A and B are shown apart, each in its own frame.
Chain A
Amino acid sequence: MSPFEIGLASFGAMVVMIYAGFWVPFALMLSSYVGVWAIKGSPVLAGKLLALAAGETISSYFFGVVPLFVLMGYVVSVTGMGRDAFDVANHLFRRLKGGLGIGTVGANAIFAAITGISIASAAVFTRIAVPEMIRHGYDKRFAVGVVAGSSVLGMLIPPSLLLILYGLLTEQSVGDLFIAGIIPGILLALAFGLGIWLTALFWPARLGAGVAADQVESDLSPGGVAAKGLPIALLIGLVLGGIYGGFFTPIEAGAVGALGAIVIGVARRQLTWADFWQVLTDTGLVTAAISFLIIAAQMYSRMLALSGVPAGFGNFVAGAEIGYWGVILAYVALVVLMGAILDSSSIMLILVPLMLPVVTGMGVDLIWFGIVTVIAVEVGLLTPPFGISVFVIKSALDDPGISLGDIFLGAAPFALMMLVVLALVLAFPALATGLL
């Protein structure tokens, strides 16, 4: 078999293993190990690739603060700050059907201004939002779907690790990319909110029996709203103020936010030692589960790079005589397709440099192209078999009653809405470049 055929075969084997119930990271590792062995003809080299990727993949300052973002979210959850925030949201949105779902999207948009990485959003809101939505009568599948869907806002609304990576790959200004992400990010949040509202209006059963029955009662006084909303507002103020006031970087924000949440929790006498330890342990388990997946995905991606499959498809798109829109649409389709099996940064690392000379030659605005790329790549967070946001939620949820399939199904409408927003950005480039 040629390396190209090996790459294709490894893909089939990997999908079968995942659906058969092999642990996803091991399915990726095994495909990668056998693939490299077959391509390079050496099991020793295959083992070396695994070992090098194990040590290198997550070894970065960017990635190192992920547990701290998760910790911040978990402290918010365990101290009741999250629950209070949702009571406030419920009160404010009580006349709006599907209000808590919309509230979750809004909260994610705010959190997106703090974090640069979607997995942090997914881990945090699984703990804060899912239990609250279920408590208020929402359908489980919808609850996890909202969280999965709105986690993608983390990478679109600045700061964004993926936009930084794109900037590095294309020598575009990261500052411009960040500004360009704002309107599409808000647009996506609005699309999600509108989608939820319309669903609540026309198919209320999809949101859950409790919501369909009628609005949830709320008897909060203005003073009660203030008392419940203040702690979380304080935390958001600390982190956003710190970043945009120049006191710390978005990377450091995770650490400051985590410590801030702990201090607020202790000050309110709502954080016990036992809770704190529990939350820390959980943070570790979720971080390890996700990191192990990302390491395995990187092994698989390196094998695939050696096989030449992505380059083959990329060169096909780049070289096809299909005109401007043909190339752009084929590229978007390829990115979404690769999103089914690869992690976000691997897709960008492989495809963007391949396409860059082509789109540059066509005179494409590279800032716009970056936003298009990031939205398309992020669809892959929600699509099976390898959907990292879905995996994060499953891992953070720790509830056997909600299966991976449930989460993928719950997230599907949001993936579709992303495609709609992507189409809008494709049709109206000014959505991305208008603020520049």
Chain B
Amino acid sequence: PAAQADDFNVTIVAGHPPVFRWVKHASQTFIPAVNAALEGSGHSITWSEQYGGSLAKVGDELEAVEEGLAEIGLVSSLFDPAKLSVQNVTYFTPFVSSDSTAVSTWMDELQHTNADMQATWAENGLHYLGGGIGIDDYLLMTTFPVNSIDDLDGHKIAAPGPAVNWLEGTGAVGVSGNLTTYYNEIKTGVYDGVIVFASAALPGKLHEVAPYITKVGFGAQYAGGLAANADWFDDLPAEVQDALMAGAKADAEAYQKDLDASVTKFLAIMQEQGATVTEVDQAFRERWANGMDNVAKLWAEKLDGEGKNGTAVLKAYMDTMRAAGATPVRNWDQE
């Protein structure tokens, strides 16, 4: 690392546009925090912010950073499930915790401390900075009231990629869908409902077409975080490296606070606008979780086969969450 003071040109990339909360905070929290941390160090950064697909589409951020077109990216593990397979552990372990701050904080921690998680970032030429993108508790939103699991029978429910698995064994027909077209497809009747999170449901006005909101307790999720090109990061002066890590930490805190406040507000607004919010009881939750195949186990074994220690990651995540006070409806790792 060079000792003299330097100005660094940094391109930061995100596939989502800045209206998405995690992109907003990258721009409004992460960058200012890094700049502030650099003050007095003699170093500075000139930022080029490339969001919303201007440089890379959603799910292509990893490659843009790995190949060096951007130095830093908001890398979405959810949309890059093959390359960041171990990071997707939360999507294969529903019913663990509905607290998005807990899930993303502990997942952030695991990215720094768990050898298998670190190995995956390294394998993709990335250095994980932090700023975990927590997704608030996934909800079931339907055109019909759900009082019992039997009510789902034969209904078509759209869900994002890995969440289709959550519908196995419920009698519902899981369809892999796209957030941007849910509204119209529910309206015309292609789908009878969706699995979606509140902070996306309100902007999309999904409660207008699927007014029955059921808090099943699928849980909060981890969808990725800020990562830097590893070769570039390793060559940076220590002060700059520290500033980037500090910026990511500040980003995570601000993002989580913002998210928590919005979720409560959004649910209230949807209710005001005529949606019915119901929270299911523990028996409902247990019946749902126990009726599912153990997709976590299937996932872990597939990863083991790829030499990625899926079983160990599954156990590490579940242990971490239980130690943090979560009471999983189903202990996916202990079967």
* Chain A residues in the interface with B (C-beta under 8 A): 40, 42, 45, 48-49, 52, 56, 61, 159, 164, 167-176, 178, 243-251, 301-302, 305-306, 308, 346, 349-350, 352-353, 356
Contacts and interface: CB of A to CB of B under 8 A. Distances in A.
Interface of A, helix, strand, loop or mixed by DSSP? helix
B50 A306 contact: yes
Given A45-B68, A48-B69, A169-B52, A356 B188 contact: no
A305 B55 contact: yes
B67 A168 contact: no
Contacts of B185: 249
Given A56-B56, A174-B184, A305-B55, A249 B69 contact: no
Contact of A306 (B11, B60, B68, B190): B11
A61 B63 CA distance: 20
Contacts of A52: 56, 60, 63-64, 67, 69
A251 B48 CA distance: 35
Contacts of B11: 306
User: Which of B54, B68, B184, B188 has most chain A Cβ within 10 Å?
Assistant: B54
Given A245-B189, A246-B190, 11 more contacts: A48-B69, A52-B67, A56-B57, A169-B52, A171-B204, A174-B184, A243-B188, A246-B188, A306-B55, A349-B53, A349-B54
Nearest to B58: A168
A178 B203 CA distance: 15
B68 A353 contact: no
A168 B69 contact: no
24 contacts: A42-B68, A45-B68, A52-B69, A56-B60, A61-B178, A164-B181, A169-B17, A170-B17, A172-B203, A173-B183, A173-B203, A173-B205, A174-B181, A174-B204, A244-B188, A246-B190, A247-B190, A301-B54, A302-B54, A305-B55, A349-B53, A352-B17, A353-B17, A353-B18
A159 B184 contact: yes
Interface string B163-184: 0000000000000001011011
Task: Please tell me the size bucket of the interface on B.
Answer: 20 to 34
Contact of B204 (A173, A244, A353): A173
A171 B189 contact: no
B52 A353 contact: yes
A167 B180 contact: yes
A35 to B, nearest CB: 13
A186 to B, nearest CB: 19
Contacts of B204: 167, 171, 173-174
A170 B19 CA distance: 6
Nearest to B19: A171
Nearest to B205: A173
B51 interface: yes
A249 B181 contact: yes
A308 B56 CA distance: 15
B187 interface: yes
A302 B190 CA distance: 36
A352 B67 CA distance: 27
A244 B189 CA distance: 8
Nearest to A305: B54
Interface in B29-58: 48, 50-57
Nearest to A345: B53
